[in-house]
Amino acid sequence: MKYITKYKSPNYNSRNKSKIQLIIIHYTALRNTKEAISYLCSKEKKVSAHYLISQDGVIYNLVNEKFRAWHAGQSFWQDIIDINSFSIGIELDYSPIGKNNKFSSKMISSLKKLIIKIKDKYKINKKKILAHSDIAPLRKKDPGKYFPWKLLENEKIIFKFQNITKNDTKIIEDWFNKYNITSKKRIIIFALSLIGYDTRQVYKNLKHYNRLISAYKSRYLSELTYASKETVYTNIIKHLFKNLLTKN
């Protein structure tokens, strides 16, 4: 793959021998690629990413993969609290309120190729290609509900967990009942915790719980204009079941 390498961000440090096992997808929320490069390469901003992809599908390599770019901020996934050390960060030139408010076909085409290259190079599990909102659901919304996750799922680039039957979900629910976990809210929180989400602050904070659910819906139910509580619950149970059965 060809990258533009003439722009380099000073905002990185050592991974301290941490193994790369995550790919995190962001959007810039800036007006264009030029502004994004300026922002990500500004020493004062203290923010960076390994890659930036323009609306035209041009890929800019801003930080060498061997270094720890500063893209994730305070975040969490499957007990990893220093996401930056374990991940590759990809920024997309997209803003929900700007003229660049579409995920162009050229952008997504380049993104797919880049994900496949990184995934194969570091043997990254398909379940560990994540949204910024997955690892920081209380703070972040990107890449947002319009990002074409289904396209990546259907092309087997990322994890897909459909085709779960009612009998399959009953196995999970029976297990919860066996241990007297009968509240759907408690089941949802526990399931999301097993999947990888940070649920430490949501048990007694309704606002945080709702943000967590919004992050999940944006990532996995964005195609539904309105997803009922029952739909969200069923989807999460299916997700957990497939997650436990699927190695990669």
Note the pLDDT of residue 242: 83
Residue pLDDT, tens place only, 180-222: 888 999 999 999 999 999 999 998 899 999 999 999 999 999 8
Assigned token pair, 247: 């190695």
DSSP characters over 178-221: HTT---HHHHHHHHHHHHT---TTTSS-HHHHHHHHHHHHHHHS
Span 221-246, average pLDDT: 84
Alpha-carbon span 218 to 177, nearest angstrom: 29
Span 5-26, average pLDDT: 97
- Does an H or E element contain 89, and which? strand 87-92
Assigned token pair, 36: 């994004």
Span 126-153, average pLDDT: 96
- 51 CB neighbour count, 10 Å cutoff: 23
Is pLDDT at 24 greater than 80 in this prediction?
yes
Span 16-29, average pLDDT: 97
Assigned token pair, 242: 């497939």
Place 37 in a pLDDT band, splitting at 50, 70 and 90: very high
Residues 20, 75: contact at Cβ < 8 Å?
no
Mean pLDDT of the chain: 93
Residues 26, 73: contact at Cβ < 8 Å?
no
Which of the following CATH numbers is that of domain 12-154: 3.40.190.10, 3.40.80.10, 3.40.50.10490, 3.40.50.360?
3.40.80.10
Catalytic residue among 65, 91, 173, 223: 91
Residue extents of the structural domains in the chain: 12-154, 166-245
pTM for the full model?
0.94
91 is a catalytic site residue: yes
Place 176 in a pLDDT band, splitting at 50, 70 and 90: confident
Note the pLDDT of residue 1: 82
Distance, CA of 104 to chain centre: 19
Alpha-carbon span 97 to 109, nearest angstrom: 23
Q: How far apart are the first and last CA of the chain?
A: 25
Note the pLDDT of residue 75: 97
Is pLDDT at 247 greater than 70 in this prediction?
no
Note the pLDDT of residue 225: 63
DSSP characters over 119-169: HHHHT--GGGEEEHHHH-TTT--TT-TTS-HHHHHHTTSS-------HHHH
Is the pLDDT higher at 103 or at 171? 103
Alpha-carbon span 56 to 53, nearest angstrom: 8
Place 248 in a pLDDT band, splitting at 50, 70 and 90: low
At 90, the amino acid letter reads I
Is the pLDDT higher at 208 or at 243? 208
- Does an H or E element contain 244, and which? helix 229-245
Place 9 in a pLDDT band, splitting at 50, 70 and 90: very high
